[in-house]
């Protein structure tokens, strides 16, 4: 059995409902100026977990810290772009990058930065 399929099975016990604010880009007003960023809201089942110390050591220096998270999602029908927001019961996180593992193991990993409000 491939290792990634073991990850898929382990994700199930950590799934919870997460409110996702999908970034749809900035809108341009009639005068040509960019207005506030636009988001559409949805709910997805995700496993939001801390980024491990080993991963923190291999990632670009200073990009992520111990307060940041990675979110596993098995719903790959509507991928969230970078700049999207995840509202969890322990804070808000902004998606900074995505690791799409759909073809290997049917899940996507979103690497997220904690948003200080």
Return the residue matching tokens 């040509």: 32
For the chain, give every domain's residue range: 3-26+36-114
Distance from the Cα of residue 56 to its chain's centroid: 16
pTM score of the predicted model: 0.85
- Pick the closest to residue 47 from 14, 23, 80 (CA basis): 14
Question: DSSP code of 77?
Answer: S
According to the model, what pLDDT value does residue 9 have? 78
According to the model, what pLDDT value does residue 1 have? 44
**Is residue 44 within 8 Å of 104, Cβ to Cβ?**
no
C-alpha–C-alpha distance, residues 25 and 103, integer Å: 27
Tens-place pLDDT, residues 88-111: 999 999 999 999 988 888 899 999
What CATH number belongs to 3-26+36-114?
Answer: 2.40.10.270
Q: What is the mean pLDDT of residues 66-81?
A: 92
């Amino acid at each position: 059995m491939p290792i990634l399929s073991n990850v898929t099975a382990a994700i199930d016990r950590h799934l919870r409902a997460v409110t996702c604010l999908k970034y749809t880009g900035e809108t341009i007003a009639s005068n040509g100026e960019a207005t506030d960023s636009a988001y559409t809201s949805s709910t997805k089942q995700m496993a939001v977990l801390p980024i491990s110390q080993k991963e923190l050591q291999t990632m670009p220096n200073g990009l992520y810290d111990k307060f940041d998270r990675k979110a596993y999602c098995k719903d790959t029908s509507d991928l969230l772009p970078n700049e999207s927001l995840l509202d969890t019961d322990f804070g808000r996180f902004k998606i900074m990058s995505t690791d799409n593992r759909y073809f290997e193991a049917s899940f996507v990993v979103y690497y997220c930065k904690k948003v200080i409000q």
